[in-house]
């Protein structure tokens, strides 16, 4: 499947306020999120490299002991096995890429 119309993918909500559309390449997982203002992800870590790209709005992202607010056009890189958390300062949209692939996010199969 080399071409994907993300808007046609089924929307899933792995956590309250985090509505996303998900797909995989051979080695990566991509999430296109619409995030409600104030929605957050608790501090956690996983074995995947993870890159957050903010499309609209503003996210407060903590990676290790560093916290930054990232606006539209900004990105954040989370190394494997590094504690991180995310909070939407305002209603936001972001694309998240994970390597290697993930079969589930927030307890739902993707």
The model's pLDDT over 19-54, given as tens digits with 9 standing for 90+, comes to 999 999 999 999 999 999 999 999 999 999 999 999
pLDDT tens-digit map of 78-98:
999 999 999 999 999 999 999
pLDDT of 101: 96
Q: Which domains does the chain have, with CATH numbers?
A: 11-104 (2.60.120.10)
CA 36-7-93 angle, 5° bins: 30
pLDDT band at 1 (very low <50, low <70, confident <90, very high): low
Q: What is the pTM of this model?
A: 0.95
Omega of the bond leading into 100 within 30 degrees of 0 (cis): yes
Contact 79, 55 (CB under 8 A): no
Contact 28, 97 (CB under 8 A): yes
Contact 27, 99 (CB under 8 A): yes
Q: Residue 61 above 90 pLDDT?
A: yes
Give CA–CA dist 50/54, Å, rounded.
13
Q: Residue 64 above 90 pLDDT?
A: yes
């Amino acid at each position: 499947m080399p071409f994907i119309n993300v808007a046609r993918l089924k929307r899933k909500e792995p956590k309250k306020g985090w509505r996303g559309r998900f797909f995989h390449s051979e080695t990566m997982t991509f999430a296109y999120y619409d995030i409600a203002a104030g929605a957050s992800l608790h501090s956690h870590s996983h074995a995947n490299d993870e890159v957050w790209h903010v499309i609209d709005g503003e996210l407060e992202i903590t990676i290790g002991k560093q916290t930054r607010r990232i606006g539209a056009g900004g990105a954040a890189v989370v190394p494997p096995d590094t504690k991180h958390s995310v909070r939407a300062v305002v209603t936001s949209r972001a694309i998240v890429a994970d390597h290697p692939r993930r079969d589930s996010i927030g307890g739902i199969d993707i």
